[in-house]
Amino acid sequence: MSEYEWDNQIEYLTQTRGLYYNDDYLEFLIQKVWKIHEPVKMVDYGCGYGYLGLKLLPMLPKGSSYTGVDKGEALIEKARQILAKLPYPTEFIREDVEELDLAEAYDVAICHAFLLHMKNPETTLKKMIRSVVHHGKVICFEPHWSANMANYRFEGLEQSSVIPLGILQKLYEKDCEQHGKDGNIGIRVPALLSQLGLKNIECRVSDKVNFLDPTADQAINEELFNALRAEGIGHPPGDREKTLDQLMQRGLTADEAKRQYEAELLLSNEFSISSWLTYAPNMKISFGTVVK
C-alpha cells in the first residue's frame, strides 16, 4: 500500500469524475466565459490521474500545454500513461504542493476537489497565484457539500428520511473545525480569491444532473449506478455502536447520531439499480484574473 492514501483511490477517482460535468458546459466556459482563444500553458495543482487535463486539453486552442502536480507516485504514473497517448504537450511533477513553489510561467492555474483537503487553502491559492503571469487566470473546481446533499431525490423516499440536512451541515462544520477539511470550500473560494487580490471574480455551478432510470439502457444505467455507489451513495453504515460512537466523536449528540445512522441504514436498504434517483453534484467553479 502506498503511504499516500490517494494513490490507493485511483479506481474511485476514475469511476466518479463523470458525475460532475457535461463536456459542452466546459467547452462553453472555455470559449464564452473564460474567453481562451489563444494557446495557454496550464498547471493543475493536485492533478491526480490528470482528469482536468483529459477534459480540457481537447477543448483548448491548439498548442496549449498541461503540467500536472501531485505528491502521489501512482497517480502521477497513471497520468503519464494516459496523457502520453494523446497529442498534447504535457509535463508532470511529483511533489507535495505544500512544499513546492513554481515559477511565474503559466497562463492558467487550476485545481479540482483539492483545496478542501488543505488545512490552509489560502497558502495553496497564493502558490497558484504566484505561478501565473499577469492577467492570467486561477480556476478552482471545488465542492459545496451542503448544496450537494440538498440535490438528491429518491423516488418513493422522503428526502429528510435519508438525508437529514441539518445534521449533515453540523457534521461538515465540526469536521472542518477539528481537522481543517472543508467540504464546503467551493462556496468560500470567491471570497478567498478577492482577499488575495484577484480581479473579475465569478463563480459558476456545474451543470450535470445525473438521472438513474431503471427503464433506460441497461449498460448505461449500470455504469451510472456503479459510479453512484463508488461516490458513497447507499453504502451500509456498518456496526451500529461503532458508527454511533464515531458520529458523536465528530460532534453530534446521541439523538443526532442515531438519526443519521438510521437515515444511512434506510438508504442502504432501499437504494438499488432499480431505483429512480436524480442527483446534481453542484460543484462550484470559481475563477479570477491575476493582476501583478
- The C-alpha angle with vertex 164 and arms to 212 and 120, in degrees rounded to 5, equals 95
Regarding beta strands 132-142 and 284-289, do their DSSP bridges make them parallel or antiparallel, or are they unpaired? Answer: antiparallel
- The C-alpha angle with vertex 200 and arms to 128 and 115, in degrees rounded to 5, equals 35
Q: Please tell me the distance from the alpha carbon of residue 239 to that of residue 230, in angstroms, as a whole number.
A: 20
- Cα distances (angstroms) measured from residue 36 to each of 29, 41, 71, 95: 9, 11, 29, 28
Q: Please tell me the distance from the alpha carbon of residue 177 to that of residue 265, in angstroms, as a whole number.
A: 27
Q: Please tell me the distance from the alpha carbon of residue 247 to that of residue 257, in angstroms, as a whole number.
A: 6
How much is the pLDDT for 4? 85
- Answer yes or no: is pLDDT of 162 > 80: yes
Q: Please tell me the distance from the alpha carbon of residue 51 to that of residue 68, in angstroms, as a whole number.
A: 10
- Answer yes or no: is pLDDT of 249 > 90: yes
Q: Please tell me the distance from the alpha carbon of residue 130 to that of residue 128, in angstroms, as a whole number.
A: 6
Mean of pLDDT over the chain: 96
Determine whether domain 5-144+184-208+281-289 maps to CATH 3.40.50.150. yes
Residue 99: all three cell numbers together = 512544499
Task: Provide the pLDDT confidence category of residue 284 given band limits of 50, 70 and 90.
Answer: very high
Q: Please tell me the distance from the alpha carbon of residue 283 to that of residue 185, in angstroms, as a whole number.
A: 10
Using alpha carbons, select from 49, 9, 56, 70 the residue that is nearest to residue 230. Answer: 9
How much is the pLDDT for 1? 38
Using alpha carbons, select from 164, 163, 169 the residue that is nearest to residue 145. Answer: 169
Rounded average pLDDT over 73-100: 95
Question: Does residue 16 contact residue 148 with C-beta atoms inside 8 Å?
Answer: no
- Answer yes or no: is pLDDT of 196 > 70: yes
| In the block, residue with C-alpha cell 496550464 | 42
Q: Please tell me the distance from the alpha carbon of residue 229 to that of residue 235, in angstroms, as a whole number.
A: 7
What backbone torsions phi and psi does residue 211 show, to the nearest 5 degrees? -125, 110
Read off the pLDDT of residues 101-129 as tens digits, 9 standing for 90 and up.
999 999 999 999 999 999 999 999 999 99
- Cα-Cα end-to-end distance for the chain: 43
How large a percentage of the chain has pLDDT more than 70? 99
The distance of Cα 109 from the centroid of its chain, to the nearest Å, equals 16
Q: Please tell me the distance from the alpha carbon of residue 241 to that of residue 17, in angstroms, as a whole number.
A: 33
DSSP strands (E only) in the chain: 41-45, 65-70, 90-94, 106-112, 132-142, 152-154, 199-205, 210-212, 277-279, 284-289
Question: Does residue 186 contact residue 142 with C-beta atoms inside 8 Å?
Answer: yes
Residue 90: all three cell numbers together = 504535457
Read off the pLDDT of residues 132-148 as tens digits, 9 standing for 90 and up.
999 999 999 999 999 99
**Residue 250: which residues within 8 A CB-CB, separation 6 or more?**
171, 174, 175, 178
